[in-house]
Structure formats: structure tokens, C-alpha cells
Structure 1
Amino acid sequence: MTDSSEPTLAAGSQATRELAVAEWLLVAAHNADEAVTDWRNTGLAVLECGGVFAALRIPALLVVAAARTSHPGDVAEYLAGALHGGPVIVSANGDQYYALVPPSTAKRKLPHGIECLTRSSLLFVPRPDLTDPNQHAHTSYWAVPMDGPGALCQPDAVLQVATVGRFRHTQQGGDQ
């Protein structure tokens, strides 16, 4: 007889993690009930940066150059490793990546082309379970989902990815 409890426990653990992450993210909503409704109806909620998290916006061309691939699954795998599992959102049209970082990141000097979204900046944040670009076409999704409440990217790791991407993009003859 096989033990069928393992998949149930794993699925339960993932659902528990996603619920905890959702509750933590909702702290950044102007109206949590409205955000939950938006997640349910569209998969996206508008959350304010600068309170519990900030977001570093990185052009996709830099992320793709750093990862040396444009395949979404391979880019996600690269980011998960390079950012030590820190959470990253891909924009609906795929032209921007948003690494969630501590709000204190706003005080840092950033390289050209990288912007820190802080207080009064709004971000479309996907429901924590939206992680597959093939299933969720035409909407933002998590390239790297949050491991848990408050589990953010290390700003230095994000900036290193952007710097490597800029170098590789320039070496390939891209704009500076």
C-alpha cells in the first residue's frame, strides 16, 4: 500500500504558505476586501509599495541577458538561484521584472535603468498561486513566489543580477 498522505501534506503546506503570504501582502492594500475580490476576479490586486515592501523594477532585457535565456521557466530558475529564493513578479506583457525588497532599499543609489518603487507607488501583485506563465497568459505572475510572509529579496543580489544583465546585454551589442 502506498502512502497517499504525502501529496496531501505537500499541497496543504503550499496552500497554507500561499494563504500566509496573501495575508501578509494584504497589509499593503488600501482596502483588503477589495484586493481579495480583485485577486479572485482578475488574479491581480493593486498594492502600495513602501510599507511592508518596496519593489525594484528591472527591464526584462537585463534579466534575460543575465539569465542567458528568454525561456520563462529557465529565467525563473536562474532568478530563484541568483536571488536566493527572493520573490519576483513578471509584468503582464513580460517587459519588466519586479523584485520585492525591504522598504529601506529606497535609500540606496541604484544603477541607471533600475527604479525602486516606494511609498505612493502602486504595483499590480498577482495572487500568490499565480506562478505558471503558460496558465496565466496576459497577466502578471510570480517568476519566483514568496517563500513566506516577509521573505524578500536581498537588494545586493538583485542589483548584481541587473549589473550582470547590463554587462551581458552591452557585450551582445545592446543599448547602454
Structure 2
Amino acid sequence: MTEPRNLEPAPNGTQDVTQVAVAEWLLTAAADISQALQDWRYTGTTVLACGDTFSALRITASVVRAATNLREPRAIADQLANALLGGPVVVSRDGDSYYVLVPSRAAQRNLPAGVEYFGRCSLLVVPRPDITDPGRHGQASYWAVPMYDPGTLCQLDAALQLVTVGRHRHLTKGTEQ
């Protein structure tokens, strides 16, 4: 595979080697690598297939906010990085959903209500690895928790624990009103 040339250069004018490696790994989920690279170049996002390289869990923003007890995107991202042990998380364009990237075998588990599994035959809008700042990239999807190494995914148990805490707090808050 050729080196993705579409990552934004680092301040010193070079591309971050890890971001390039992560991009190459993510692109293994692209139906058309050339198109995915072009999409990343012009829009900052591309559509990747779930189910082989990775799968994803969609968690609503309200559950994530309840789990973290936070509202500010950067503070939520910091808390997610801690709670999910550095597992990668993408935030949807509208900020209503968080997509936790997990191993494809996650489908073998029973998932709690309100968690949507993106496996085979599912598509996910994925930002370039360097898009991590919601303020800088406007209304585009971004990495709340970037993928730090190619193939490093979130532990399913960590994601489910986050959901359990968030749902409990969300339901408790609803009954206290």
C-alpha cells in the first residue's frame, strides 16, 4: 500500500509516522483505497466497512455525558480515554453519537439496550487520523480518542462498563426530576 499522502502535515512539515501507520491500517477496511484517500483529502472523512478489520458500538451522546458527568467535548474525550483504556472513539458529525471501535468478535456478546453494533454489512464514517479537535474541524466527525497504534481497539468490557454507568446515571437522573 502506498503511504497516505492526505494527512495534514505536522507543524514541522512532516507527517506523524503513527498517523500514517494508523491510516494505512484503517484503509484496509475501505472498498476503494484511492476513493477513501480522496475523501479524506477533500472532506476529512471516508466511509469504511465494519466487520473484518474492526467493528463499532454506537453509544448515544446522552449516555456518554451521563457516564462522564461532563458536557464539554474535550473534557469528555479525556474521560473517555481514561475509561476506555485508550480505545479509539469517533464522534459523529452532529455530536449525537460516539462510535467505540472494538474487535469484530464483539457481536458474540449480548449488548445492552441502546447500544447499536456495527458489524458485517455496516458502514461507518471515519475521520482522518489527524482530525481530533472538534472546534478546528467544524461540523465534521472527529476522533474523541485517537487510535494511537494500528489495530489497537477498545476492550469490549471497558465499553460495556461505560454504557452501564451511563445508563444507570441517565435513568437515575430521569427519576429524580
TM-score, scaled relative to structure 2: 0.90
Deviation string, structure 1 residues 129-158 (Cα, Å, up to 9, x no partner): 000000011110000000110000000000
Q: What residue is the counterpart of 1:83 in the other structure?
A: 84
Kindly indicate which of the two structures has a greater share of residues assigned to helix: 1
Paired with 1:46 and 1:19, the residues of 2 have a C-alpha distance of 18
After TM superposition, list the pairs within 5 Å mapping 1:1-176 onto structure 2: 15-173=16-174
Do the aligned partners of residues 109 and 54 (structure 1) sit closer, same or farther apart at CA in structure 2, a change above 3 Å counting?
same
> What TM-score results when the alignment is normalised by the length of structure 1?
0.91
Secondary structure at 1:56's aligned position in 2?
strand
Query: What's 1:6 paired with?
Result: none
Letter in 2 for 1:38: D
* C-alpha displacement of 1:116: 1.0
Say which is worse superposed, 14-23 or 71-80, in terms of deviation.
Answer: 14-23
Unaligned runs of 5+ in 1: 1-8
Structure 1 residues 23-43: Cα deviation after superposition (integer angstroms, max 9, x where no partner): 000000000010000000000
Distance 1:64 1:171 in 2: 14
Within 2, Cα distance between the matches of 1:11 and 1:158? 36
Q: How many residues align?
A: 166
- In structure 2, relative to structure 1, the CA distance for the partners of 1:166 and 1:16 (3 Å cut) is same
Q: CA deviation at 1:14?
A: 7.1
3-state SS of 2:144 partner = strand
Q: What displacement does 1:79 show?
A: 0.3
Unaligned runs of 5+ in 2: 1-9
Whole-Å separation in 2 of the counterparts to 1:30 and 1:64: 34
Change (3 A) 1:71 1:86: same
Counterparts of 1:10 and 1:82 in 2: how far apart (Å)? 30
Distance 1:12 1:19, change over 3 A: farther
Note closer, same or farther for the CA distance 1:86–1:68 as it changes in structure 2 (3 Å cut).
same
Q: How large is the Cα RMSD of the aligned pairs?
A: 1.7
